[in-house]
Amino acid sequence: MRLEISLLGCFCILLIFAQAGAQFSTDTIKTAKGDLRITFLGHSSLLFEYGGKAVYADPAAADYAKLPKADIILITHEHSDHLNPGNIKILSKQGTVVIANSAAQLQGAVVMKNGDTRTEMGFPIEAVPAYNIVRSQYHPKGNGNGYVITFGDKRIYIAADTENIPEMKALKNIEIAFLPMNLPYTMTPENVVDAVKLFKPKILYIYHYRGSDTEKLQTLMKDVPGVELRIRKMY
């Protein structure tokens, strides 16, 4: 287990260097109260810009000195490819709110547990389960958070490191979902499709997918009507 965590740390460092100076992919989503801009920063790192606010998810793989300061930072769990305290410091300004699971042990962070809800800067945020069923040694139940955050009239699901867990059935009215796809830590293409069938988002992005068979996922998703699969460069 120590070796696995060490390897994750090395992988995160490599990602940071690889992403320095990268040209990031961005998408714009129309909402009832203006545009939501999504920037794909690498691996599991995302930036959401909406209403003049910048919300980051797991800022661990990019040159953050060149990116907007954060209003809200969401940390799903404590693994080094998701949590980088140095990047949090770079992104923070007066009033930045950091939200994390309890095991992250970040001084000054707002701790949310599975099932908690709160509103920050007008954005409703829900912490939802994220864990492994088959490979529970990587992400045990009750530790990590996925998040559902609402921008205007769009509910966005950031799944974090998880398998296709039964709690996904409880997700309602999800416009956009970010689901992880890589073994042995998260899901296979088949697992992703099974997860999508549980809550039917309108748009599916995969992330955390290094080394995974994206073509296989595209083939499998043809049998899931009403869900648009989008694959963006995350490395």
Query: What value does the mean pLDDT take over residues 54-73?
Result: 94
Query: What value does the mean pLDDT take over residues 202-228?
Result: 95
User: How far, CA to CA in Å, does 21 sit from each of 88, 118, 188, 233?
Assistant: 19, 35, 30, 14
Higher pLDDT, 134 or 156: 156
Task: Report which secondary-structure segment, H or E, holds 40.
Answer: strand 34-42
Main-chain phi, psi angles of 177, to 5 degrees: -125, 140
Residue ranges per structural domain of the chain: 25-230
One-letter identity of residue 60: A
Is the pLDDT assigned to residue 127 strictly greater than 60?
A: yes
In three-state secondary structure terms, 17 is helix
Give the number of other CB atoms < 10 A from CB of residue 219: 12
Q: pLDDT band for 195, please (50, 70, 90 cuts).
A: very high
What pLDDT is attached to residue 159? 98
What pLDDT is attached to residue 88? 97
Query: What value does the mean pLDDT take over residues 160-178?
Result: 97
Residues, the chain, total?
235
Furthest CA-CA distance within the chain: 48
Query: What value does the mean pLDDT take over residues 132-160?
Result: 95
CA 160 – CA 173 distance, rounded (Å): 19
CA 191 – CA 187 distance, rounded (Å): 5
Assigned architecture for domain 25-230: 4-Layer Sandwich (3.60)
Higher pLDDT, 175 or 66: 175
Phi/psi class of residue 192: alpha, beta or left (left: φ > 0; alpha: ψ in -120 to 50)? alpha
What pLDDT is attached to residue 16? 41
Query: What value does the mean pLDDT take over residues 199-217?
Result: 95
Portion of the chain with pLDDT greater than 70, in percent: 90
- Average pLDDT score over the chain: 90
Which two three-digit tokens encode residue 121? 């800067």
What pLDDT is attached to residue 137? 86
Nearest in space to 177 (alpha carbons), one of 50, 38, 79? 38
Portion of the chain with pLDDT greater than 90, in percent: 81
